[in-house]
Structure 1
């Protein structure tokens, strides 16, 4: 049947459970076995609601309770065979009656009441005393009129008896009025009950996805599925499977993302609804396929479909009306307009078209639009132009695709990339093709389709170097390098840096800057700085754009290496840049780079002041920068949402050091909340995806090791991070590394090593002069030299910087090392609470008890402890690891787990973890 998407690959009946279908099954079964319920139960619902699978679940549950239901399924062709269902039912009853022969009970000439009484008698004779019989009839809406009338008459004779008939029905406006009246009379007499299956609400769709993929869907994914699937669970499952085939779904940190929302799912051509439409015969199948492409053309669609299938328009209208009767189409508000009830079915039908068939339909659509015979939006026309290819006027098609692709390159990357690629294939004029290739490369780079960006940029540089202007060549070279880094092909990037850059078309100044950027993407910062400085006489004398970009690159790279003077002057006076007055684009570029570099140094306050001074909203920040800003300012939930999206879709890849910064902040948040395994996976992924400035990850990784009791590994991670930074000449981020190392050296009793760390924090603070570096130096001095004044100054400075995690950690460290009073602990505890930092709160509670500070709200503490324990269990920690994290023994962990399972009702770690993943756990 058309509604039986449940049988699609990857779907199963048990998928009903997450959205309450178990309750519906139980209700129907109770009606079927109850002696005082209505003898007729109708399970109704629109296409895709899984009526058939629900009836199967009812049958299985009845069998589990010891009943043997009689099951029938009505085929579509039975609606034209008089008394077909009654005859089949009579035959089944005869077999059930231990070898009895089927009687010809229902004939056209027999009075309906008599036929009903005869069939009732057969039903009763098929039962032994005290038995209960349930008759399950699937797709009862295909029942022929005679059988339907007999069954409605039969119901009146079954009242109070041992027989219940359960039917699945797809309601339709074409149902005979007399049947509707008869059913209402039966309902009024309590002889029939209707159990409707309604489309799922968004929350229920979310539960279904979470159960199926063991990951929570994003709001964007939910909105897309609601729009395409109209709450039909089977359609939702088909869409999920289709997007999984195309690689369009990505699960990260237990959240599932649709990475290309404009890319249709790859639905198999043998889906049951498609097979059903094929079997309808006649004109319905070719009309349905053509309608999937041409219906958006409104009133012109029927005529164009008729031309496509080579039949008369009235015949086509008849086929469209039949598709309406089948529940596939819906008549629009205007005469002659139709639309698919399930938008997803459009993708499925389009996938059934052959290459020539699809191009021919696109040709019809484009020709009609160009001739003014039909209207459609720009997106529809562009898509048909892509498919039609050379079936239409190529020069006009190429021009429109280039214009529409260029206009959409920032907002609709998937479509813009398709349109521009198609334009490139249609254009024959070399200069225009080069222009299209550059636009295609830029679009792909912006939207992280790096492989395609590399291919197009390489074609421009190798084939069209003499046909494009100097600035276009420079832009293309930059795109090539960034995209090459985005493909993670470090060998190719290294080959480019070590000699390949010299063969780039364009001027020497271009090549110098492009190589410098490439070296940064290879984490060769010192070499990039030296190359830029040694060739300053080359790039500084070029045009304003090259000279200004060279200056900006030098300021930021120099800052990372600890040469912060030029950078600080740039922050103090952004308009002093040569391109500042040349346009908004250049001003944004300058501010964007300065703000990002400040964020890498932890200078949120300075970055905010810079944006405010030039009246730019915080939303100006790119997603990676916003993650860092939200994390440092304490908006952790939003930071985590953005970080998941950015890391899942690769938004931070290609722009150094964004990916590492986002990974650092994400791992800090996850670790503080007890998500230790996920935090480590973020760190490991950062190493493999874009290994740049990896020393920035050493602090969060060392905190994970220390939480799990491996202090030696924590020290080793910090030492490796400092060695990496020294090898590359990097100073950024080393302030917190030296502070953490000082703390661990002090903990193991090596005072001399700790004092060397204090000296390093002093040198770093004097070199870069940032607020964070000063806090690190003051705190290290306070801990190692027992300097209470330094501790007080560190707390004061941290307050002014207004970063909640930094302030809470500063206060906690000062108290732990007895250089500040315990009165700071309640404030730190509250700050951790605002961040929902479960693990940090639990660790601080231990310190508060040691210092005799009362922990407020016992009920909250108990709930937090349980939630932390459940989180750690979900992370897959062993009892030994749990004991290390929680600061107890394995035996105490076993006791706590036992109490948690007893209180919540979960019987195992697996059940508890599943409940956490699907948001069903509520402490």
Structure 2
């Protein structure tokens, strides 16, 4: 059974005695902060500690958390920040340290502050090594990095430029005396210096001189250092990444590691207030490499188009390009601060990363820089922590001198640089990459490669570079490469393959090859989920190259265009085909007309057109099978699915192309799963040689929902709803929303369940009545029977108007239950007869099962109907047999509960049925149905298993309902208890957890709930 508790000490868990924090202060850094607390507050050991890490790793956040927590121990904490260009002013940091440690002494020294750049002070004019300073009057450069919201050195309140006059004593000596006095007189103090890489070398030298005294004092320095040289300074000497602080000045540095994948997921949850799915976490982790600054950039405004949020979960939008960092981003500023030559090399490197040891030579060629300049730029990027240099994998790495490769530490930075390449720069760099790869391919021995996955990545990289290179590479070879690579990788990278095929079409002058490539581009874009692109591309091909296509190819492309229009939700364009479609008689035109009518929800008219044109009996196999398939789909909706069931026993037609045969099998499988006929769907796939792993997303969702894989089904549903419209594949696309709402309501999330239905209704969907039964279930859960009956009658009215029968048994069943609460049994009987009629017409076990359960419920409420309905025991036995035959856990558990709750069952049998239902609902995570089953056990005078588990689940369900925004009155109706009972339970929950409000409870549920 699924555990109801995920985090000890939180909702549904054992009381640990300490109230939980609603949100952690610093995700992924608690261990590092505690280590720094131990270092900074120790009475012995090093007095200076370095906190080191790459750009964006979170040094400032760690120092801020350190300051807060050290202050909480009673130790005095001072926070000092260095700013870009502070290194130009001698003893500036020393002056700030004196100000922090001894404000009185600092005031006495105000007339003897160190000189500003450009003065005649000897100390300011020379570096610690005795050489003249070459940057005394470096002007302020607005293009260089600066701390947002902080003044530059020339305007800082404590900047030496504000001194009235230099004193008679040397500033360094005066500050040394002041700092020495401060160190001798202070009690335990911690001084935190952020961005200490901008510190002036004179202060660093002074700290080195005073290191012995500092070690004996009660003062501890914690310096945050990034491996980036100050802007405007000369290239650094090879003194290690902690420049300007040598290793002998401090204790062992404390490195800030990247966040783990799990920590990335937690951070995303807190930023988006939604639980991220695995694909989103994987992509964010890849883009950011665990760097919090990069992750914050992706989750900010620049990344909004790449992330979709739905029903409390965040999804990666399929095909969304990585966000482009703005010019004021920390990574872009750091790169710009390294100089023009390094900036040019970095932009080109963002394209050439996979080329390994050939990269420097290509960089020199494409940037016009010398080999030495390129090597220096690569060294700068590596020293700055922006680029990693490593041994190149593969055969080259086994040579006496291992080949090297350079790659950006954070892939998001590479994406930002690629976006800043000009059109010609992109073409030139890509062309150089293509030529290098072709040369390598020409020299490679037959069969030589780097593994299947690596070969696929290299082929995709080559194809992308060919597309970007355009006319700068050999046109004939580029065309053959794109066609070959797209054919190889289309199944796994359909969106990329569609782009490659579009580019291939532009490289050929052959009208037949161009038409074929564009048609493949449209079909591949549709399979990739890019419906708008597919519809536009297919329409363009049909208009400009229709005469160059064969009739079969033209017909297939027409089908792709119509399906893509529906998937894009462009029902206006699809409706424009309605008039001509209804009058079409020719094969391709008739197929297009029948499909258009089905997509618009006019299944009865589609049947008339198919019968008038004889599509299902044409000699052409493609036309005949399309016609038969559309006929069976339309018959399903109007209540005569015999043809669909017959398709299970029919073998695949060998005259059909393999891809069309597979598509037809999938559409037949959709119909069977929509009926709830899991066994027939399995038989169909096995007979045609397919398995469930190849099912498309909507079909896979139906399979997961019916077979009880609800966690996977919800994940699939979110992906479908974020990337596709409910208009795409009626009725399956509508059932995705209806069944998702069913699962959410079972989990105790009525607000999210209604949101899913509202999202579907906001679109011009066909068969909207399939949502109304679940709309009624939500209304009943919230204690709104009038709204429930309104929804049911609306759905029945729409179905009657359109002549639809499929799915109406759920509406009639719901209406029977609503009528059963009154004193009109004849109305209940009328509804039951309608359910029986629909179940008989659909010949579906699930429809029959719903009829049997409805009869059992009616007999409980109206025993006087016994003369008009079959015997209750016979109904119960048949229901149990049907429920156990088809492996559908939710239907089984509901049947077990319905049979056990009906009258006339022996006590031992009732207990076994209820306990089995309880277990199955637990496996599904259906908290609401578990609660109802517990109630049934108590009503039957039976013990409820697992007292501790019961308490946890009750708390979790209550917290979930509160998180959904339900008022106490609504919760009371949902749980069938009094409002006072709800208030008492909430008070106990708040007292046990230490939470103070519903907002805090909702926040805690968000961060600990996997759903």
TM-score by length of 2: 0.81
Give the number of aligned pairs: 894
**Greater alpha carbon shift after TM alignment, 440-449 vs 638-647:** 638-647
Pair 1:905 & 2:997 matched: no
Show CA shifts across 1:397-420 (max 9, x none).
444334433443332133223223
What is the correspondence of 1:470-869 to structure 2 with a 5 Å cutoff? 470-499=551-580, 508-536=586-614, 540-571=617-648, 573-575=649-651, 579-580=653-654, 582=656, 584-650=658-724, 654-689=728-763, 691-782=765-856, 783-784=858-859, 785-786=865-866, 787-788=871-872, 789-818=874-903, 820-821=905-906, 822-823=910-911, 824-869=913-958
- Aligned-partner Cα distance in 2 for 1:730–1:176: 78
**Greater alpha carbon shift after TM alignment, 58-67 vs 784-793:** 58-67
Pair 1:309 & 2:367 matched: yes
What is the correspondence of 1:206-605 to structure 2 with a 5 Å cutoff? 206-241=265-300, 244-245=303-304, 247-260=305-318, 263-333=321-391, 334-335=402-403, 337-370=405-438, 377-499=458-580, 508-536=586-614, 540-571=617-648, 573-575=649-651, 579-580=653-654, 582=656, 584-605=658-679
**Offset of 1:598 from its aligned partner?**
1.2
**Offset of 1:864 from its aligned partner?**
0.5
Contact persistence 1:541–1:547 (CA under 8 A):
yes
Show CA shifts across 1:39-68 (max 9, x none).
222212234312134335555777898957
**Offset of 1:539 from its aligned partner?**
6.3
Q: CA separation of 1:96/1:281 partners in 2, compared to 1, >3 Å: closer, same or farther? A: farther
**Greater alpha carbon shift after TM alignment, 405-414 vs 540-549:** 405-414
**Offset of 1:682 from its aligned partner?**
1.2
Contact persistence 1:18–1:211 (CA under 8 A):
no
**Offset of 1:361 from its aligned partner?**
2.1
**Offset of 1:912 from its aligned partner?**
1.2
Contact persistence 1:698–1:721 (CA under 8 A):
yes
Where 1:532 maps in the other structure, the secondary structure is helix
**Greater alpha carbon shift after TM alignment, 801-810 vs 69-78:** 69-78
- Aligned-partner Cα distance in 2 for 1:805–1:109: 77
Show CA shifts across 1:285-327 (max 9, x none).
2122222222332232212222222222122112212222222
Q: CA separation of 1:911/1:193 partners in 2, compared to 1, >3 Å: closer, same or farther? A: farther
Counterpart position of 2:214: 158
Q: CA separation of 1:656/1:406 partners in 2, compared to 1, >3 Å: closer, same or farther? A: farther
Counterpart position of 1:9: none
- Aligned-partner Cα distance in 2 for 1:472–1:838: 51
**Offset of 1:607 from its aligned partner?**
1.9
Contact persistence 1:63–1:69 (CA under 8 A):
no
Where 2:210 maps in the other structure, the secondary structure is helix
TM-score by length of 1: 0.89
Structure 2 unaligned spans of 5+: 1-21, 115-122, 131-169, 229-235, 392-401, 444-456, 860-864
Contact persistence 1:70–1:133 (CA under 8 A):
no
**Offset of 1:31 from its aligned partner?**
5.5
Where 2:193 maps in the other structure, the secondary structure is strand
Where 2:576 maps in the other structure, the secondary structure is helix
Counterpart position of 1:11: none
What is the correspondence of 1:70-81 to structure 2 with a 5 Å cutoff? 71-73=80-82, 75=84, 78=87
Contact persistence 1:90–1:103 (CA under 8 A):
no
Q: CA separation of 1:102/1:427 partners in 2, compared to 1, >3 Å: closer, same or farther? A: farther
**Offset of 1:89 from its aligned partner?**
5.3
Q: 1:45 aligns with which of 50, 53, 71?
A: 53
- Aligned-partner Cα distance in 1 for 2:269–2:975: 29
- Aligned-partner Cα distance in 2 for 1:459–1:872: 51
Q: CA separation of 1:370/1:689 partners in 2, compared to 1, >3 Å: closer, same or farther? A: same
Where 1:337 maps in the other structure, the secondary structure is strand
**Offset of 1:825 from its aligned partner?**
2.3
Show CA shifts across 1:845-891 (max 9, x none).
22322222222211111110000011111111112111111112222
Counterpart position of 1:880: 969
Contact persistence 1:708–1:885 (CA under 8 A):
yes
Contact persistence 2:734–2:760 (CA under 8 A):
yes
Contact persistence 1:879–1:890 (CA under 8 A):
yes
Contact persistence 1:131–1:162 (CA under 8 A):
yes
Where 1:405 maps in the other structure, the secondary structure is helix
- Aligned-partner Cα distance in 2 for 1:669–1:611: 26
- Aligned-partner Cα distance in 1 for 2:1010–2:334: 41
Q: CA separation of 1:442/1:281 partners in 2, compared to 1, >3 Å: closer, same or farther? A: same
- Aligned-partner Cα distance in 1 for 2:639–2:345: 69
Q: CA separation of 1:865/1:583 partners in 2, compared to 1, >3 Å: closer, same or farther? A: same
**Offset of 1:755 from its aligned partner?**
0.7
Pair 1:167 & 2:223 matched: yes
Contact persistence 2:427–2:468 (CA under 8 A):
yes
**Offset of 1:481 from its aligned partner?**
0.7
Counterpart position of 2:178: 122
- Aligned-partner Cα distance in 1 for 2:885–2:766: 31
Contact persistence 2:727–2:765 (CA under 8 A):
no
Q: CA separation of 1:209/1:602 partners in 2, compared to 1, >3 Å: closer, same or farther? A: same
**Offset of 1:779 from its aligned partner?**
3.1
Q: CA separation of 1:825/1:801 partners in 2, compared to 1, >3 Å: closer, same or farther? A: same
Counterpart position of 1:8: none
Q: CA separation of 1:441/1:590 partners in 2, compared to 1, >3 Å: closer, same or farther? A: closer
Contact persistence 2:227–2:383 (CA under 8 A):
no
**Offset of 1:668 from its aligned partner?**
1.2
**Offset of 1:159 from its aligned partner?**
3.0
**Greater alpha carbon shift after TM alignment, 540-549 vs 83-92:** 83-92
- Aligned-partner Cα distance in 2 for 1:635–1:609: 20
**Offset of 1:753 from its aligned partner?**
0.9
Counterpart position of 2:14: none
| Larger RCO, structures 1/2 (Cα 8 Å, 6+ apart) | 2
**Offset of 1:670 from its aligned partner?**
0.9
Contact persistence 2:28–2:259 (CA under 8 A):
no
Counterpart position of 1:99: 108
**Offset of 1:754 from its aligned partner?**
0.8
Where 1:211 maps in the other structure, the secondary structure is helix
**Offset of 1:456 from its aligned partner?**
0.9
**Offset of 1:378 from its aligned partner?**
2.0
Contact persistence 2:737–2:757 (CA under 8 A):
yes
**Offset of 1:474 from its aligned partner?**
0.3
Show CA shifts across 1:71-92 (max 9, x none).
14164783x9887755775688
Q: CA separation of 1:483/1:62 partners in 2, compared to 1, >3 Å: closer, same or farther? A: same
- Aligned-partner Cα distance in 1 for 2:241–2:633: 80
**Offset of 1:791 from its aligned partner?**
2.5
- Aligned-partner Cα distance in 2 for 1:377–1:239: 26
Show CA shifts across 1:179-229 (max 9, x none).
99x987777xxxx46433221111111111111111222222222233332
